[in-house]
Amino acid sequence: MSLNTQIFIAAVIGVAFGFLLNLFPETPFFTVSLYALGIASSIFIGLLKMLLVPLIFSSIVVGVSNLEAGGQLSRVWKITLACCVTTTTLALILGLACAHIFHVGQGVDIGLFKEAMAQHQSPATLTPSSFLTNFIQNTLINPFKAFSDGNVLAVVVFALFLGLTLVHGGERFKTVRNISRQFFEIMMMLVSWVMKLAPLGICALLAKLIATEDLSILSRLAEFAVVVTGTTIFHGAVVLPLLLWIFGKMNPITFFKGTRAALITAFATSSSSATLPLSLKCAQENLGVRPQIAGFVVPFGSQLNMDGTALYEAAAALFIANLIGLELSFTQQIIVCLTAMIASLGAPGIPSAGMVTMIMVLQSVGLPAEAIAILLPIDRLLDTVRTVVNVQGDMMISVVVDRHTREMGASAET
């Protein structure tokens, strides 16, 4: 049985087992199963996180130095940025459109959430300018601190500089380039080994998620949850595949078949960062993206390109405005979109990161930050789908960039 099939079956078993556990809360069966599931999922997530920083570091150093050596870096960079901005803008438009078409939040009694909002600790004000200052201060730091703290964005920036330097130093740094390449290959071999545990890890993660979530809370916010999830799925199942087909000339079915392992892992972990080792492997081995392109575009995208998060933040801001009976003007909606774009850029690829950066989106148009307390209880569930779309976008962009730089690559290599 192929690994993809095993992962799929494991996901189905995990969901079913989670529902079963939900039927027997506070029983010894529940407690023991939850303990075992916790151990199994921690091993899988722990191994992925263990590989994350060295993998990102080596893949960007190798990717950037190969691209720069082949004279392709600036083109790859431009196409990647253009793709990120285009897909995120489309996601934001969809987010706003879904909130308008379905009037999410209108007619819902805010009184239901008064207690949660009152108990929520008022977060510090987060404006785009303070956000930018923090972003720079957290990104340009001592690389050793970044490695030990697992500060992925800072590692990406340092690796980028190092990759460039290795090429500009020419023959002198050939040994370091070779070592980096071999180190990257070692990391990828470790990823293959960890992937063998993916079915078990995914089964445990999903069972634990379903068993511990209070699914009844969903019903209070059912309309919002359905609309936002439906729109996110529309973006991932229609908009992105269409763009892939037009600009990447790839059949979406081939894409989904090749990336199934990474997409299911994103769903189960709700973390683009934890999924990165698998996304990188799927992009290179199943979609045929050249390693130097995937090695640069996928890690970069996993930190900075988050369509699902941007869509969610825009729709959620409008939901909260409707809930408290505030009509946002057209200009305010544009402000929501721009701030949601910045917020999705700054959100790290970890569970519920979008909730933290959403404070900035709410405050940008004067909505109360405490209102995120309304969405927090269901966030872990909604995060599953938006993380899938975040990860999907990164792999899709790597296909498009690869296609549009292939001819250049061929001529540079000959």
Interface positions with ligand ASP (CB under 6 A): 270-272, 306, 309, 347, 349-354, 383, 386-387, 390
- Find the shortest distance in angstroms from Cβ 343 to ligand ASP: 9
- Find the shortest distance in angstroms from Cβ 409 to ligand ASP: 29
- Find the shortest distance in angstroms from Cβ 348 to ligand ASP: 7
Say how far residue 132 (Cα) sits from the centre of its chain: 20
Closer by beta carbon to ligand ASP, 79 or else 375: 375
Asked if 313 and 96 touch (Cβ cutoff 8 Å), the reply is no
- Indicate left, alpha or beta for 325 from its phi (over 0: left) and psi (-120 to 50: alpha): left
Closer by beta carbon to ligand ASP, 306 or else 321: 306
Closer by beta carbon to ligand ASP, 68 or else 307: 307
Alpha-carbon distance of 202 to 205, in angstroms, equals 5
Closer by beta carbon to ligand ASP, 281 or else 386: 386
- Find the shortest distance in angstroms from Cβ 327 to ligand ASP: 27
Alpha-carbon distance of 48 to 251, in angstroms, equals 29
What's the token pair of residue 292? 């130097």
Closer by beta carbon to ligand ASP, 292 or else 357: 357
Find the angle CA(115)-CA(120)-CA(125) to the nearest 5 degrees: 135
- Of the chain, the end-to-end C-alpha distance in Å amounts to 40
- Find the shortest distance in angstroms from Cβ 316 to ligand ASP: 11
Q: Closest residue (Cβ) to ligand ASP?
A: 354
Residue 164, classified by CB atoms within 10 Å of its CB into exposed (0-12), middle (13-18) or buried (19+), is middle
Closer by beta carbon to ligand ASP, 153 or else 347: 347
- Find the shortest distance in angstroms from Cβ 209 to ligand ASP: 13
Alpha-carbon distance of 265 to 270, in angstroms, equals 8
